[in-house]
Structure 1
Amino acid sequence: MVRRGVQRLMAEHRVSLLAEVPLASGRRADLLCLTSKGDFLIIEIKTSIEDFRVDRKWPDYRRDSDQLFFATHPGVPLDIFPESCGLILSDGYGAEILREAPEHRLAPATRKALMLRFSRLAADRLLQAEWAANPLEFDAS
């Protein structure tokens, strides 16, 4: 539900995104977004207080993004999220940015590597979707 609302918000802003993206650090970003300016945003989705409290990997995402956001739904208290990150509230039908994230500019080499990772993953997923939608039928004769 949270992811769908965020996806709709990003689409409205013409921001491309991929879900469940493995990063060079070995971590996995819930959403990796690419803006028209070439900036990378990571959006970490949290659906409960406990989900936020047990996850201590999120500070590592700053190494792979220009801005880091949390996204959640109205049932989660907003005051648990750190002021040092952006905050998005989603209801599944849409989402709203409640707080912009401070910028932490990526190093050029990191940006290039992330751009290649994003591009290759998007191309691979597109090919997989095409194959799933139109499987070849082989005649064994």
Structure 2
Amino acid sequence: MDTLPLGFAEPAEHYEPGTADRIARGVCRRLNELGYRSLLEFRVGIGRRADVAALDSGGRFVIVEIKSSLADFRSDSKWPEYLPYCDAYYFAVADGFPREILPAEHGLIVADEHDAAVLREAPHRPMLAARRKAQILRFGLVAASRLSHVTGFAPADRDWRED
């Protein structure tokens, strides 16, 4: 994956409304260019929602945990629970985030709302075959459900995040 220069240097030590959304947009754009299709807030087998889950045509899953601030990272202890549900795990942050505090054994993405740069590749850790099969099915069903919601075929009172 290419690394691109990013021109944003927003302070990442304080939460700023919309920071996570901007990071997610850039991450999803980059993943799309790399052949992945992404879902935000995808619920994995443990019932927790990954910030970004992405699937490629080979059935490989990537999970990206977005950290919008130093406080966000320090207050989060759930991220290790996602590791069995992906082949590669990344942290994604805005430019200016203190990257040295992020665990070096996982991938690192720096993103803004336009694009993202992979600064450190995540090691490949294959998922269990049965878990992969179940998650691919769930990914497809959730994607179809969300598309139905967007196109107006799902009940308007239904929250898309409940999939």
- The answer, yes or no, to whether TM exceeds 0.5 is yes
Measured against aligned partners, the alpha-carbon deviations of 1:20-52 in whole angstroms (never above 9, x if no partner) come to: 011110211000000122100000000111100
Q: Give the structure, 1 or 2, with the largest relative contact order (CA under 8 Å, sep 6 or more).
A: 2
- Mapped to 1, the partners of 2:72 and 2:81 lie a distance apart of 17
Length-normalised TM-score, structure 1? 0.90
Measured against aligned partners, the alpha-carbon deviations of 1:86-110 in whole angstroms (never above 9, x if no partner) come to: 0000021110000011111111100
- What corresponds to 1:50 in structure 2? 71
CA deviation after TM superposition for structure 1 residue 84, in Å: 1.0
- What corresponds to 2:103 in structure 1? 82
- The partner residue of 1:108 within 102, 124, 129 is 129
* Count of aligned pairs between the two proteins: 134
Q: Does 1:118 align with 2:139?
A: yes
RMSD between superposed Cα atoms in Å: 1.5
- Mapped to 1, the partners of 2:112 and 2:146 lie a distance apart of 26
Length-normalised TM-score, structure 2? 0.79
- What corresponds to 1:27 in structure 2? 48
- Paired letter, 1:32: A
- Paired letter, 2:30: L
Larger Rg: 1
SS of alignment partner, residue 56 of structure 1? coil
- Mapped to 1, the partners of 2:57 and 2:45 lie a distance apart of 23
Q: Displaced runs of 4+ in structure 1, greater than 2 A? A: none
Measured against aligned partners, the alpha-carbon deviations of 1:26-79 in whole angstroms (never above 9, x if no partner) come to: 211000000122100000000111100110111111111011100000121111
Q: Does 1:4 align with 2:25?
A: yes
CA deviation after TM superposition for structure 1 residue 121, in Å: 0.1
